[in-house]
Every structure is written in C-alpha cells, then in structure tokens.
C-alpha cells in the first residue's frame, strides 16, 4: 500500500485489491449514481475488475490515478480523490467522490487542494482540468475553491450529456 500524501486529517493512498467492499459502497452511493453514473459494480468480482482496469491500471500507465481517502484517525475510508488521464481531455483531470456521511465537513476541500498541489509540484503537471455536471453545485463550488476556473461546456464523443470543463 503506497501512501501518496497526507493532510492534517486525511491520508491519500493507492487502492489495493482489498478495497472491494469500499468500492461497492462508494460506487452505489446516491451522489455517485446521480452525478457520476451507475457503473454496475455490485459484486466483489465486479469491484476487483473496476480496481484492476481503473485505478491500478492508471498507476502503472501514468504513475497516478484515483486513490483512497482515509481519515487518519482509525484509517476509516471516506472517499476517493486523484488525477485521471482521459483520452477525451487535453489535460489530466482531478476527480473526487465521498460517502454521503462525510459531506460538509471540509474533507473534500482538504484532500482536493492537497491533490492539486501534488499534481503540480510532485508530478509536474502544469495544467489540471476537472469535469462536472452543471447541476452538481457542490463540485462546482469545490473546483472554484481550489482555484480552477470555468473554461467551457463540453460533450464527450458518444454522449449527449453536457459537462462543465474547468482548468487551473
């Protein structure tokens, strides 16, 4: 298990194959389903495939990816945050999601700020993007708080869904 960074209250570490139960819980939480979409991850086997083909593959290919956010106290998993390289965007983008019981406590701001700093300072990525649905006001506020600025509305190939693109 590789620790990526730590903040005052949180740890950001690489996912491992032992994180399947958390993946199932997070990817089926109401906020994930509403704002990110149903990934149909309901079983341990599906969660293992998600980890293999998502975060773990990204660590190998890019040296970064979505990672586990844990509270330092008790090592309680509360969400994910990280940098993703998508073929559909010009720059790597920051992504984050948290279990609903941890909303509104400043955890997302704390880890997203640290992750953005890590991406620029440690990974040497000059521009970080972010995408969100127009109706996801929590994400919009967070992206603006960490210093990203609205760039344009985009639609990914093969989709009809409009997304807001931020850069910083």
Residue for token digits 């491992």? 16
Using alpha carbons, list the distances in angstroms from residue 31 to 78, 135, 147, 152, 154. Answer: 13, 12, 23, 23, 21
Q: Is the pLDDT of residue 28 over 90?
A: yes
Using alpha carbons, list the distances in angstroms from residue 47 to 20, 55, 101, 142. Answer: 5, 11, 21, 27
Q: Is the pLDDT of residue 145 over 90?
A: yes
Closest CA to 152 of 142, 140, 165: 165
Quick one: tokens of 159? 């989709």
- Secondary structure of residue 83 in the 3-state scheme: strand
* Overall average pLDDT of the 143-167 stretch: 97
Say which DSSP state 24 is in. H
Class of the CATH-defined domain 3-128: alpha beta
pLDDT of residue 119: 98
74-124: pLDDT as tens digits: 999 999 999 999 999 999 999 999 999 999 999 999 999 999 999 999 999
Contacts of 114 (CB under 8 A, 6+ apart): 5, 7, 10, 12
Quick one: tokens of 132? 């969100």
Quick one: tokens of 3? 């620790």
Q: Is the pLDDT of residue 68 over 90?
A: yes
Q: Which residue has the higher pLDDT, 1 or 165?
A: 165
Q: Where are the domains of the chain?
A: 3-128
Q: Supply the mean pLDDT for the chain.
A: 97
pTM: 0.97
pLDDT of residue 1: 83
């Amino acid at each position: 298990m590789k620790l990526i960074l730590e903040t005052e209250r949180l740890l950001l570490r690489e996912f491992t194959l032992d994180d399947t139960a958390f993946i199932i819980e997070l990817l089926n939480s109401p906020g994930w389903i509403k704002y990110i979409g149903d990934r149909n991850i309901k079983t341990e086997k599906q969660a293992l495939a998600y980890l293999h083909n998502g975060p773990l593959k990204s660590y190998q290919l890019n040296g970064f990816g979505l990672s586990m956010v844990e509270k330092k106290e008790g090592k309680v998993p509360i969400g994910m945050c990280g940098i993703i390289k998508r073929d559909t965007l010009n720059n790597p983008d920051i992504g984050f999601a948290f279990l609903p019981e941890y909303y509104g406590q400043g955890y997302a701001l704390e880890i997203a700020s640290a992750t953005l700093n890590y991406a620029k300072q440690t990974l040497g990525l000059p521009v970080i993007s972010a995408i969100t649905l127009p109706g996801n006001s929590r994400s919009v506020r967070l992206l603006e708080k960490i210093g990203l600025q609205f760039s344009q509305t985009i639609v990914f190939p093969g989709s009809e869904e409009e997304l807001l693109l931020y850069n910083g």
